[in-house]
């Protein structure tokens, strides 16, 4: 039976989604806006030039990139007031001469209207993106059911790291089940993104949750899952996946085109790679099992290619080199949290792909 203690597949904290509303972008545009204001001020004070009034169209245009439309309108009204005061002082408070610059006022007014319109459209897009992001999170949570913190001889932690690039939902998947054949685990990644990837991910998980309790041999499960993918996928779609099974201290691994799992034992991280890689699901894989005799304290780390392909300046994240320090000891949940934090610091910007993570700690004496 499934354990009753659950962990959400995604991090408990709310991810900062990227776009115009990201804090870093807002800070950049705030700085740019300040520079524009300073430049306009210098342009108005350095030279007694009446045509410099048109420069006051720049502040509302710059503000439209990051401020709400009401604030943009306020900046625009301030610019128009500033234009009036500047000309009024320039012409020694002669209203007739100020009125002769109606075209300059019109330029500023048009800029204010355009800026407010741009800000309204941007705010609507931001709100739409926020709602779609929330919907994406709900969909992910519905597909990726919580995994028990303890299952069979394993302490287990699962984590879904969302890139939050727009509202595109990734096709990363995982599941862990306690069956009559032992603890069985799958992790996989659907080619592509969006709702089509979610549908195919749901198909794979639904099929796996059925055959995991029916099939004694994982290779037969691979055949069933391959047929399910072939029936529901497009011509160029496929699913990379790893299936694991633990029975009596022996771990059996079947890899269908997925990044290899990692064994962390006695301070050393090793990739568990088969002699020959089978094709992904949907491409008629014929997989061979890799067997491993587990030792108490062994940790098995599973991940999707979003982690394997994370890079900075063309350099990939050093997973194996940092595995022991990040996930080799302590609580498995804390280990995955440390890994995510280290990854985000190392990349130094938004992730390019969603990542599913699973960490297993073999503790048979805790049963």
What pLDDT, in 10s, does the model give residues 268-298?
999 999 887 889 999 998 878 899 999 999 9
In this prediction, residue 264 carries a pLDDT of: 96
Distance from C-alpha of 261 to C-alpha of 299, rounded to nearest angstrom: 10
Phi first, then psi, for residue 177 (nearest 5°) are -135, 140
End-to-end CA distance of the chain: 14
Q: What mean pLDDT, rounded, does the chain reach?
A: 82
Cβ proximity of 153 and 366 under 8 Å? yes
If DSSP codes are grouped into helix, strand and coil, which group holds residue 316?
Answer: strand
Cβ proximity of 299 and 259 under 8 Å? no
Looking at residues 82-106, what average pLDDT do you find? 68
Looking at residues 314-336, what average pLDDT do you find? 92
In this prediction, residue 8 carries a pLDDT of: 38
Q: Closest Cα to residue 252, out of 217, 225, 205, 214?
A: 217
Q: What is the pLDDT of residues 222-260, one digit of tens each?
A: 999 999 999 988 778 899 999 999 999 999 999 999 999
In this prediction, residue 301 carries a pLDDT of: 98
Torsion angle of C-alpha atoms 55, 60, 62, 65, degrees rounded to 10:
-160
In this prediction, residue 50 carries a pLDDT of: 57
Distance from C-alpha of 293 to C-alpha of 316, rounded to nearest angstrom: 30
Q: Closest Cα to residue 158, out of 179, 142, 176?
A: 176
Q: Closest Cα to residue 173, out of 149, 131, 203, 150?
A: 203
Total-model pTM: 0.68
All residues at 6 or more sequence positions from 54 whose CB lies less than 8 Å from its CB, including other chains: 104, 107, 108
Q: Which residues pair with 7 in a beta bridge?
A: 147
In this prediction, residue 174 carries a pLDDT of: 95
Helix (H), strand (E) at residue 325: helix 319-327
In this prediction, residue 286 carries a pLDDT of: 84
Confidence of residue 349 (pLDDT cuts 50, 70, 90): confident
Q: What share of the chain is helix, strand, coil (3-state, %, to 5)?
A: 45, 25, 30
Cβ proximity of 234 and 179 under 8 Å? no
Q: Which residues pair with 357 in a beta bridge?
A: 159, 303
Say whether pLDDT at 153 is over 90: yes
Distance from C-alpha of 311 to C-alpha of 299, rounded to nearest angstrom: 24
């Amino acid at each position: 039976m499934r354990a009753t203690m659950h962990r959400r597949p995604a991090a408990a904290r709310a991810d900062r989604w990227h776009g115009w509303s990201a804090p870093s972008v807002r800070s950049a545009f705030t700085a740019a806006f300040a520079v524009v204001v300073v430049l306009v001020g210098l342009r108005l004070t350095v030279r007694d030039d009446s045509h410099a009034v048109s420069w006051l169209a720049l502040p509302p245009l710059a503000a439209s990139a990051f401020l709400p439309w009401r604030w943009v309108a306020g900046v625009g009204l301030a610019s128009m007031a500033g234009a009036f005061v500047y000309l009024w002082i320039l012409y020694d408070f002669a209203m007739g001469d100020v009125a002769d610059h109606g075209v300059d006022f019109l330029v500023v007014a048009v800029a204010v209207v355009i800026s407010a319109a741009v800000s309204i459209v941007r705010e609507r897009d931001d709100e739409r993106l926020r709602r779609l992001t929330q919907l994406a999170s709900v969909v992910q949570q519905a597909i990726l059911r919580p995994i028990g913190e303890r299952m069979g001889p394993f302490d287990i932690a699962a984590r879904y790291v969302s890139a939050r690039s727009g509202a595109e939902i990734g096709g990363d998947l995982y599941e862990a089940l306690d069956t009559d054949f032992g603890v069985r685990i799958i992790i996989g990644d659907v080619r592509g993104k969006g709702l089509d990837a979610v549908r195919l991910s749901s198909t794979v998980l639904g099929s796996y949750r059925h055959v995991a309790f029916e099939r004694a041999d994982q290779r037969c499960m691979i055949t069933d899952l391959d047929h399910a993918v072939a029936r529901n996928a497009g011509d160029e779609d496929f699913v990379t996946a790893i299936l694991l099974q633990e029975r009596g201290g022996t771990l059996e691994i079947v890899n269908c085109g997925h990044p290899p799992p990692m064994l962390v034992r006695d301070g050393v991280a090793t990739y568990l790679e088969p002699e020959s890689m089978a094709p992904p699901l949907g491409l008629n894989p014929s997989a061979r099992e890799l067997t491993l005799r587990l030792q108490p304290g062994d940790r098995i780390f599973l991940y999707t290619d979003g982690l394997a392909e994370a890079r900075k300046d063309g350099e990939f994240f050093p997973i194996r080199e940092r595995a022991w320090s990040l996930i080799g000891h302590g609580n498995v949940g804390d280990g995955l949290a440390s890994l995510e934090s280290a990854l985000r610091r190392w990349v130094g910007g938004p992730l390019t792909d969603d990542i599913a993570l699973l960490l297993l700690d073999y503790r048979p004496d805790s049963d």
